[in-house]
Amino acid sequence: MVLAVTFVTAGTFAFGQGYVLSPGDSLVDVTPFNDLNHFTIQQNNISGMPIILSWQQVALNIPSGWTAYLCDNGNCFTGFPQSGTMDTVFAGDYGMLSVAIDPINITGTAFVQYAVWDNASPSQKDTLTWTISANGTAGLAQAENAKPFTVFPSVANTHITLRSGRREPVQYFLLDISGKIVSNGSMQLPETRVSVETLPEGIYFISLLDSNRNRFTERIIVKH
């Protein structure tokens, strides 16, 4: 089992780069069935001069049967290329990487990561992450209401807690950033504690599978 477009003014910025990220370096969202949607992260040029941005694939996991591909501000591709360079981004304009997804009617979660950098500062790279799920809901608000569980804390040291309001059996899977399952089990209602004490620091995904085979996924960070 394999384990959106929103623009805001806030962003992240590393010294020496000619751009800021908007809405940030990660997108976690849901997408409806039988509908093509683009999930975009911008690189807003704040340098006052033209910049050239390059990108490289870091990780890719797309459920079988989905229609999915990558776009930048110059091209849309037939799939997910390993690397590329965007068209020149002029002062006050923006570059972008956009993941286009139509899950057809297949439940699952896509995980896509690309590094992006200003060619003038190639040592300073940002890793952009998309985690896009499809479970038949029409949008994030609906997905939040449909979630059978909550996960806390989002930044964990020794353990995370899973809490469910449902009365049916729920299986959980804890996956690392490559999609490898590092822990799994059955959730004991209403709460289950999952140890992360021995895991290396980094980004993980906790995925719950209910009795109807609906999968719900949340991102956590392990930091000791």
Burial (CB < 10 A; 0-12, 13-18, 19+), residue 224, is exposed
Please report the pLDDT score of residue 136 as a whole number.
61
Name the residue among 26, 53, 29 with its Cα closest to residue 41: 26
Please report the pLDDT score of residue 116 as a whole number.
97
Sign of CA dihedral 165, 197, 176, 23: positive
Task: Give pLDDT tens digits for 108-117.
Answer: 889 999 999 9
Give the mean model confidence (pLDDT) for residues 183-206: 86
Q: Which stretch of DSSP H or E encloses residue 31?
A: none
Give the mean model confidence (pLDDT) for residues 87-105: 90
Answer whether 24's CB lies under 8 Å from 137's CB: no
Please report the pLDDT score of residue 148 as a whole number.
56
Answer whether 76's CB lies under 8 Å from 107's CB: no
Please report the pLDDT score of residue 26 as a whole number.
87
* Location of structure tokens 């390059």: 54
Task: Give pLDDT tens digits for 204-221.
Answer: 888 776 666 566 777 788
Q: What CA–CA distance (Å, rounded) separates 117 from 49?
A: 16
Answer whether 163's CB lies under 8 Å from 149's CB: yes
DSSP, residue by residue, 69-130? EEEESS-B-SS--SEEEPPPB-TT-EEEEEEEEE-TT--EEEEEEEEEEETTSTT-EEEEEE
| Top-confidence residue, 92 or 67 | 67
10 pLDDT above the threshold of 60: no
Q: What CA–CA distance (Å, rounded) separates 38 from 182?
A: 30
Task: Give pLDDT tens digits for 42-88.
Answer: 898 988 899 999 999 999 999 999 999 998 987 889 899 999 999 99
Q: What CA–CA distance (Å, rounded) separates 42 from 15?
A: 18
16 pLDDT above the threshold of 60: no
Q: What CA–CA distance (Å, rounded) separates 177 from 10?
A: 26
Task: Give pLDDT tens digits for 161-179.
Answer: 988 776 777 788 887 776 6
What predicted TM-score, i.e. pTM, was given to this entire model? 0.57
Residues sharing a CB contact under 8 Å with residue 18, sequence separation 6 or more, in sequence order:
45, 46, 47, 49, 51, 118, 120, 121
218 is written with which tokens? 């949340």
All domains of the chain, ordered by start, with CATH?
Answer: 19-134 (2.60.40), 147-222 (2.60.40.1930)
Task: Give pLDDT tens digits for 138-164.
Answer: 444 444 444 557 888 888 999 999 887
Name the residue among 12, 41, 11, 15 with its Cα closest to residue 132: 41
3-class secondary structure, 32: coil
